[in-house]
Structure 1
C-alpha cells in the first residue's frame, strides 16, 4: 500500500549504519559495502550490498539483519536485498582500511602503541586442562564485555574450535583472514584448515610461519585481550611467541600433583630467557567436591602454590596463584558440546573459580606498555 511519508536517503543510510558485518563487526556503511539503496512510492526499498567474497558464509545473516534494520524505518513496506561482490580494488582498499592504513602485513599486537593484553597460556605437560582454561577464560571475559580473541597455537593438539563450538571455516579476503566468532570470541586454529581429523606434521619453521600468519594475516580488530593456547612444553611455538609478540605475558597452568608442578615450573621459567612477564599461575583439577561438602584431593595438593613460590623466587617478582579450579565433569561436558562451563553452568564451582581468574586478568585488560606518551625533550 502506498505511503504518504517516505523515508529519506539519509534515514535509510542511517538504518544501514546500525548493521554490522557479522565477521568484521563494523558497520557495513563504514566498510563501503552499500552499493545503492532507494525507495519507491509504494515504500519498497531496493538495496544492493557488496560482499567481501562471493562465497561469504554469513550472507544469509547479513541479508536478515539488513532487512530487519530497514523494515523498522517509518514508511518502509518491503525490502529487497541484492548481493554483489567487491572488486579487487575494493577489497584492497578494505584491507588497507582494516589494517589501519598499513597495506602490508604486520602483527598489530607487536606495535608500540598496542593496548591489547596478550596472555600466552602455557603448561609444562599435556593433560592439565590448559585448553579448557583458555576457552573458559575467553568466554568469561567476552561475557564481561571485553573484546577477546583466541589463537589455538597448539598446532599438533588443536582442540579450541570444538570447545568453543566453532564449525565454520574462516572467510579469506585475498591474503586477509576473517576469523569465526563464537560467544563473541574471535577464534583461529589450524584445525579450521585441515580436513577431518588429519594430523599436522610440521617442523619448527612451518610452526613459526603458521603462528605468524595467525597473528598478522587474521583481522582481529581492536581487541582488549588476546589469549594464545600454547602447546605444552618449551618448544618452537613458545620461542616464536616471544619473538613475534615480546610483550606477551605468560600464564602457567598446572595440576596439584608435584610431578606436574615441577614440569610447569620449567614452562614458566622460559620467561627468564625470553624476558617476558609471568602474570600468574592457575591450578586446575585441584580437588573433587563430594556430596557431603568435603574435598577429595585426587591429584594431591600444593602444586599450584609451589609453582607460584618457585617462579616468584626465580624472577624476583610476584607470580601469584590466581585460582584453583576444582574437578568437575561439567567442564569436560562443556568442552565436548562446545558450550564453555562458565556459560553453560555458570553457578558450578569450576565456573565460579574460572570467572575469578578471568576477573583478575580483566582488570588489567588494556595497558600502556610501549605506548608513546607524546613527550619531547626540551632544550637547556
Structure 2
C-alpha cells in the first residue's frame, strides 16, 4: 500500500489526538511508520486516541502549535521524513464563541509549522491539511477547483482561507527553488464521519451517544443533505499526496481537493435510518423522533471538484455510501456494546478499506 513509502520512515503529525489525527496515526502505524505526534490536549471525552492506547505506541507530545520554540525543538529533534499538519480549531460553532483562538490556532499555528520547517536541513515531505471551507463561497452549484478564490464569510472559513494564503506565501518565499530539501502541498477535504468521533455539534456523534444508552435521538432538520464521507477517504488522499510529492518535486506548492463519490449525498433522516440498521432496534421509530422540520440552508455546503487529484495523483474515493455507513455504525456498536480491543478493531477496518481499494483496482492502492 502506497508503495510501502512510509515503512520505517519518521512521520510527524500535528493534531494527532484529534479524530482525523487518530485515524491517520493508526493507519501509519499499520504501514510501519515511526510516528511522532504533537497536540495541545486530548480534545474529547471519550477519546479515540486514548481508547486505542496510541499514547503508548508513538512518541506522544503535548505542545500548542502557537508555541513556536517548543514546536521547533520537537520537529528539529525528531527529524521527520514526512510531516502531516492537521492541528486546528475545527468546530464552526466554537469559532463564533472564540474567534481569536480560532484565528490564532489556524493561521498563526500554521505559520509556526512552516517557520519550523526553515530549520530543517534534511529532506522532508510536508502535507498541510486545510478544509473545503477555505474557498470563497459564491453560491454556485458546481464543484470548486483548486484555482478558485479562497476566503470566507465566517471566522472558521476565513481562518482556513488565510492558512492557505500563508502556506503559499511561505512556499514561494522560502521553499520554492532555494530550499529543495522541503517539498510541500495542501490537501482540502470536507466534513467526514467515522468511528471514534466525539466532537460537539455532530449528528452522528449525538446518535451514537443516545443509542448507546437506549435513548431516542431528537432531530430538527431531517431533510438536511450532506455528502457523507468516511474519514479514511480523505486520509487515503493525504497519504497518496505524500507518496507522490516525495518523488516529484514539481508538485511542490500545489493544492489538491479530496471528496467522496457523487452518490454519497443523503438526508439526515436517511442516514439515521441506515445507521440504525446496524443496532438492535426492533423498529426504526425507536431510534429517532423528528421534533421539528426547520428549513435547512444549503449555502454552507461546498462541492469539491476532484479532477486534479484524479488526473495528477490517480486518486479517487473508494467507498460507496452503504459501505461508509456500515463502517461507522459497526465501530460505535463495537465500542459501546461489545468487549473488543478497539485498536485491533480499528486496524481491521483499515484493512477492510485497503482490501476494498485493491479489489476495485484503484491506482493509488497499487504497489508498483
TM-score normalised by L of structure 2: 0.37
Higher Cα Rg, which structure = 1
The structure with more strand, counted as a fraction of residues: 1
TM-score normalised by L of structure 1: 0.36
